[in-house]
Amino acid sequence: QVQLVESGGGLVQPGGSLRLSCAASGIIFSAYTMGWYRQAPGKQRELAAIITNGGSADYADAVKGRFTISRDNAKNTVYLQMNTLKPEETAVYYCNAKHIVSRHWDYWGQGTQVTVSS
């Protein structure tokens, strides 16, 4: 019954911006570390950004300075603001929730497509 529903993906031009949202239900949201992962065509899924329940964020080197992850525990929602997007960042972006105590509780959304192209 756990659901992570991503939204906000779409087509943007190189250098453009996009804001992704992930709405969680069926979990005690504040007990989870939230992350955004992405999988480009023909490549492995990789971590883009992660944020703890307390709001501490970490980023992949490739996105530092351009992406910002945030969360609103009252709304059970995590966001990813993506600026200055590059064509190679075209990928399906996935929302992930990992329990802060038990990694047995680990959930994924279905993903949202981000396409960076002229």
Distance CA 79, CA 95 (A): 9
Tabulate helix, strand, coil % of the chain (nearest 5): 10, 55, 40
**Could you tell me the end-to-end alpha-carbon distance of the chain, in angstroms, rounded to an integer?**
39
47 burial type by CB count under 10 A (0-12 exposed, 13-18 middle, 19+ buried)? middle
- Quickly state the pLDDT bin for 91 (edges 50, 70, 90): very high
Instruction: Label residue 22 by pLDDT band (50, 70, 90).
Output: very high
**What confidence tens digit (pLDDT) does each residue in 41-75 have?**
999 999 999 999 999 999 999 999 999 999 999 99
